[in-house]
Structure 1
Amino acid sequence: MAPVESTKDDEGHPRRWSILVALCAALLVIVMDNTIVNVAIPAIGKTFDASTTGLQAVIDAYVVVFAGLLISAGVASDRYGHRRTVLAGLLTFGAASAAALASWSMWWLIAMRALMGVGAALIMPATLAVLVHAFPTEERPKAFAAWSVVASVAMAVGPIVGGALVTAWSWGGVFLINIPVVLVALIGIARLVPNFGDDNPRRLDIGAAALVTIGMTALVTAIITLGETDASSTLAPVATSIALAALGVFGWRQRRSPAPMVDFTLYRDRAFAGASTAATLLTLGTGSVLFVLLQYLQLVHEHTALQAGLAIVPLALGTVAGSTLGSRAPARSSARSSIMIGFAATATGFVVLATLTPNSSYMTVALGLLLAGGGTGLSSPATYSTVLGAVPQSSAGMGAALNDTHQQLGIALGVAILGSLLGAVYRAKLPASIPENSGRSLATSLAYSSTHADKATLANAARTAFTYAHAVTLLTAAGCALAGATIAAFVLRSNTPRASTSTSAEKEDG
């Protein structure tokens, strides 16, 4: 086990703001990759003649592995030091990005996306854990807000840069751009970030890590295939059985272990459990929005990849504004109120986006994205502070990993569940003149229509069907956000200010 450093909770590290900048470079490449790939989905679909299921797998291969390994990565960062864990993750992420450029099939691309998820899992909890160590309690909401702002900027830069690369070159450019960003992050973190960690870390259980990753992968696979295959298919029930068995054994093994990787007693804390559940529900809705909306912009409104990327900018602008407001809210404002208001605003944005038609103006898109981004940004600092404030500082890596697991699992399930809903409703609304094999996605339907004399009629029918499915999907996403707000209202205490969440000392005294 590597020697690790620590700081006093009430003082913070003297270089904490420089440390934040270095960590945000690592965060940038993770978030930018997700948004870039969403922009490239239509181009990938055309190149490999992919179905909706295949396109979902490109997104979820990254997110599922990311979520499945976060707990183990959090334990590893506590045990070996957060800086070393981030550096290992960046190296893995960069190598996988380079290999993705050589993709000759969907399967290879999906495999490299999964390997990138391994790197992201090593990076994400360690960055949040370093912030817990480096910043005193009263400054953490500002640090988390800055962290959220960088994520929103990456969200804006990703589609724009990705759209430019896809338009000028090909979808492969969305992976090439990762390499220089990784190099910058490696240099900054190696020079600036101390090797914070836990002097008495939990044991790294490889078997448990394998079980939870297999379980999550099987669960998402079951959901995706349920929306794509017919009733006679055995893949969905087999994947469901594997998921239940793997996750069940993982839970049983953790409860019997004298030093479990996951401290399930944290879920007895209503602040931790309530904020975590609310965040999962929100990300379940938000995880599918770009997947759906970017197809709408490129295939219904016929935007180029660059134009679609530029169209997403209001989402990032709203998140920046919301994060700024969330970090500067008065002390009397509770975490519960910030989460409730933010989630409600996000739900309103989704409802606005659900009203889109093939002839809607861009102002509707911009308004919906601005509301959704603003709500997410407003609620994020309160959510992070509530969840991580309930975890002892010595286990910051594990706590950050659980926080990220909830959110990444929400994104994975969102793409799987709402993506399958999108596909099912779309196929149900397609006219019978479009054969089943050409109704796997809007891209395949448009490709089929282009070969027929009545191509304009068929293309319009396909776009109308997709728009209807888009509306159903976005309304479901709004319901997820409202469910999160409801949980926050009933579970979180109203008298807990965001800047005074429980510290490790309070937990030990209590």
Structure 2
Amino acid sequence: MTVGESSISGIRRDPRRWVILGAVCVALTVIVMDNTILNVAIPTMQDDLGASPPELQAIVNSYVVVFAGLLVVAGLIADRYGRRLAVIAGLVVLAAASVAAALATTALWLIAARTLMGIGAALVMPGTLAILVHVFDPGERVKAFAVWSAVGSAAMAAGPLLCGVLVEQWGWPGIFVINAVMATAAVALIAWLVPESRDRQHRSIDLFAAVAITVAMASFVGAIILIPDHGPLSPAVLAALASAVAGAAVFWIRQRRARAPMIELSLYRDRRFAGASGAVAVLAIGTGSVLFILTQHLQHVLDYSPLQAGLAIVPLAIGVVGASPVGARLPQRIGHRRSIIIGFTVTAAGFAVLATLTPTSGYVAVAIGLLLAGAGSGLASPAVHTTVLGAVPPDRAGMGSALNDTHQQLGIALGVACIGSIAAAGYRYFAPPSLNVDTGSSLGSTLNDLTADQQHLIDSAHLAFTQAQSAAMLICAAFALTGALIAWRILPQEGRPD
């Protein structure tokens, strides 16, 4: 039986709905962990693969950018051919690509494998929320979304911990082996438990437009990554920007001419959809880069092992899980708008604490900053997802979920590219001439060239990195506060007309 082709109300009271939620959360865990699971492995991968800072950013972003670029068309595929089928197909692609990534011997190989993983993740993500929309009635949906948000945020935070364990036991390829195993297990659960659902309207799917917008996103992010080493007016940067403009123009033209466009631009005239989407996208620019930078501080400045670095990030997961139950109840008491503003402000406070780190700072400041950042996410996420999807017709849940995730994933990609590039440029700016830091240098590469008897140079490198890190964290805090400001100015107050 399929939902959308028959009575929706019949399936929304499925007695297995909470078990179905569990199966969906397993699939969600796989794709969300892939966003952060590499962060602790970055120093090890840099040594093993000889990867430069731009290549490290590309290894992280190749997954995120393709994920974001294909989410909308993947949501349409899920709506048209079935959410269950799309999730299973995506998990199979993800598992196969993970095996390829585990066998990588060069940075370019790993970037290509991560790109394929992004395709698989894009097929999975829209179906997860869309399935929940159809098996839960509106009264229970906010609780289901709270669980979904908590699992997703906890998986994102737990990624570095699992990474630390795997890197110490099997090296960085072990990350992808476990990823393939988890994806395979998720396939079995989804196939066994989840009912099929689809959109009755059967909208057309424009793969050319999907490729065009993905190229636009990847080119724009690539240009940002290249700027610190090549300059804003270099041929490579200008070519990437031209590609981004061309891809975006092609997408826009095809959408304008289509009788049934992939994206319903009218949604952005809804203050709930536009406000929550804009707020979460801006917040993601800050949150997407924090672990990318902080794990380097933990391993290079505090000299933590990969496992210790993973354990050090656990307060982020504790904050998310601990605050999520409160976040699920908060909208009923103070409204969605205020819940989002409070959550984003708490996250900004966490980033501000992380901005105070120096080479001599202990772990307490790290733990407090991560705990606040996680708590803010737990407080805001249920309200954000409920607000966005509440503005989308149930039959278009796949598309609405895809847009919701696209905003967040694009923000993460821009964060890693933007804030990561700022931190890299800042390190080279603050480094004294005695370190001989040049284009492409990073703290890791600098430390590899120094010996134990050059402690004064090591201290100088640590200081330069933490100064750059502080500037980056303050920018992250500013993005979080901007997200709160967007929610305050655009989202309607509960009880008032839109």
Once the two structures are superposed, what CA deviation does each residue of 1:99-154 show, in whole Å capped at 9, x if it has no partner? 11111100000110111000100000110111111111121111111011112332
Residues 424-463 of structure 1 aligned to structure 2 (within 5 Å): 424-437=425-438, 440-450=441-451, 455-463=454-462
Percent identity reads 52
Residues 399-418 of structure 1 aligned to structure 2 (within 5 Å): 399-418=400-419
- Unaligned runs of at least 5 residues, structure 1: 503-510
Structure 2 residue aligned with 1:8: 8
Once the two structures are superposed, what CA deviation does each residue of 1:17-62 show, in whole Å capped at 9, x if it has no partner? 1110000000111122222211111111111222211111111000
The answer (yes or no) to whether the contact 1:75–1:397 under 8 Å persists in 2 is yes
Q: Distance in 2 between matches of 1:232 and 1:352?
A: 35
What code does the residue aligned with 1:474 have? M
Q: Distance in 2 between matches of 1:159 and 1:6?
A: 43
Structure 1 residue aligned with 2:393: 392
Secondary structure of the 2:493 match is: coil
Give, in angstroms, the shift of residue 155 of structure 1: 2.9
- The CA RMSD over aligned residues, in Å, is 1.8
Structure 2 residue 223 is matched with structure 1 residue 222 = yes
Q: Distance in 1 between matches of 2:332 and 2:31?
A: 32
Once the two structures are superposed, what CA deviation does each residue of 1:185-238 show, in whole Å capped at 9, x if it has no partner? 111100111111101122111111110111000010011101222466311111
Q: Distance in 2 between matches of 1:109 and 1:180?
A: 18
The answer (yes or no) to whether the contact 1:3–1:80 under 8 Å persists in 2 is no
The answer (yes or no) to whether the contact 1:430–1:439 under 8 Å persists in 2 is no
TM-score (norm 2): 0.96
Structure 2 residue aligned with 1:478: 477
Structure 2 residue 359 is matched with structure 1 residue 350 = no
Give, in angstroms, the shift of residue 182 of structure 1: 1.1
Q: Distance in 2 between matches of 1:7 and 1:283?
A: 37
Structure 1 residue aligned with 2:36: 35
The answer (yes or no) to whether the contact 2:331–2:383 under 8 Å persists in 1 is no
Q: Distance in 2 between matches of 1:457 and 1:399?
A: 54
Secondary structure of the 2:25 match is: helix
- Unaligned runs of at least 5 residues, structure 2: none
Structure 2 residue 186 is matched with structure 1 residue 202 = no
Structure 2 residue aligned with 1:290: 291
Structure 2 residue aligned with 1:380: 381
Secondary structure of the 2:201 match is: coil
Structure 2 residue aligned with 1:506: none
Secondary structure of the 1:228 match is: helix
Once the two structures are superposed, what CA deviation does each residue of 1:271-298 show, in whole Å capped at 9, x if it has no partner? 1001000000011100000000001001
Give, in angstroms, the shift of residue 80 of structure 1: 0.4
The answer (yes or no) to whether the contact 1:438–1:444 under 8 Å persists in 2 is no
Give, in angstroms, the shift of residue 83 of structure 1: 0.3
What code does the residue aligned with 1:311 have? A
Q: Distance in 2 between matches of 1:231 and 1:389?
A: 41
Q: Distance in 2 between matches of 1:178 and 1:6?
A: 36
Structure 1 residue aligned with 2:66: 65
Identify if the C-alpha distance between structure 1 residues 5 and 188 changes in structure 2 by more than 3 Å, giving closer, same or farther.
farther
Identify if the C-alpha distance between structure 1 residues 6 and 483 changes in structure 2 by more than 3 Å, giving closer, same or farther.
farther
How many residue pairs match? The answer is: 496
Structure 1 residue aligned with 2:254: 253
Q: Distance in 1 between matches of 2:495 and 2:305?
A: 47
Identify if the C-alpha distance between structure 1 residues 5 and 369 changes in structure 2 by more than 3 Å, giving closer, same or farther.
farther
The answer (yes or no) to whether the contact 1:7–1:134 under 8 Å persists in 2 is no
Secondary structure of the 2:433 match is: coil
Structure 2 residue 469 is matched with structure 1 residue 489 = no
Residues 235-274 of structure 1 aligned to structure 2 (within 5 Å): 235-274=236-275
Once the two structures are superposed, what CA deviation does each residue of 1:376-425 show, in whole Å capped at 9, x if it has no partner? 11100000000000001111101100000000000000001101100111
What code does the residue aligned with 2:330 have? A
